[in-house]
Amino acid sequence: AVASDDLSCGPSRGVDLVRGVADVTVEPDVGLPIDISVDRVLDLATVLLCSEAVGIAAWCVDTAAEHARNRVQFGRLIGQFQGVKHRCADMLAALELARAAAWDAGRGGEPDEQRLAIACAGAVVPDAVVGVAKDCIQVLGGIGFTWEHDAHLYLRRAYGIAQALGQSNWLRRVAALTLGGVRRTLHIDLDS
């Protein structure tokens, strides 16, 4: 969309060591060949990052549940301990909330409705996924803190997504301001 001579690009340091991050600066007088607003770019990035975050949370829930089903401690599977059961249940509930919010944000609709859904997803999903990733490491115990397990990579990615979206407070404000008369319409198919 922009000629390479009209922008400057340089590496930046991010939280996630596996994903490269760069600072890109476009010259202010360069006209873009497509008509897209900054808000639309931010909305699309929010939908994509929230969708990726849901995948991270799903991996974390699956990994923690599998570990709880197989790890024996004090002569019992750790999944039989009430604290582990509750943590895994809370992780699943947070995953389903994040999944529903991300799906709603990505499904489209009227512009005002979509803006509301994207703002809600951006406000809910990153916090939920960071919490799920941290809980996954807690369920894994000692192995979750080592470099030998991938859990730390997923936690870093979750923090990286939360950092990329910025503080969720601004998305909460967008959702609150968007609510001025906007409601999500409910489409029910009675034939199926």
Mean per-residue pLDDT pooled into runs of 10, the chain (192 residues): 77 78 76 71 91 97 95 88 94 97 90 87 94 95 82 91 79 68 56 59
Q: Are the CB atoms for 63 and 140 separated by under 8 Å?
A: yes
The pLDDT value given to residue 41? 82
The pLDDT value given to residue 90? 97
Query: Model's pTM, two decimal places?
Result: 0.79
The pLDDT value given to residue 80? 87
The pLDDT value given to residue 188? 52
- 3-state SS, one letter per residue, for the chain: CCCHHHEEEEEECCCCCCCCEEEEEECCCCCCCCCCCHHHHHHHHHHHHHHHHHHHHHHHHHHHHHHHHHCEECCEEHHHCHHHHHHHHHHHHHHHHHHHHHHHHHCCCCHHHHHHHHHHHHHHHHHHHHHHHHHHHHHHHHHHHCCCCCHHHHHHHHHHHHHHHCCHHHHHHHHHHHCCCCCCCCCCCCCC
The pLDDT value given to residue 18? 75
The pLDDT value given to residue 4? 74
The pLDDT value given to residue 104? 94
The pLDDT value given to residue 131? 97
The pLDDT value given to residue 52? 96
The pLDDT value given to residue 54? 98
The pLDDT value given to residue 30? 66
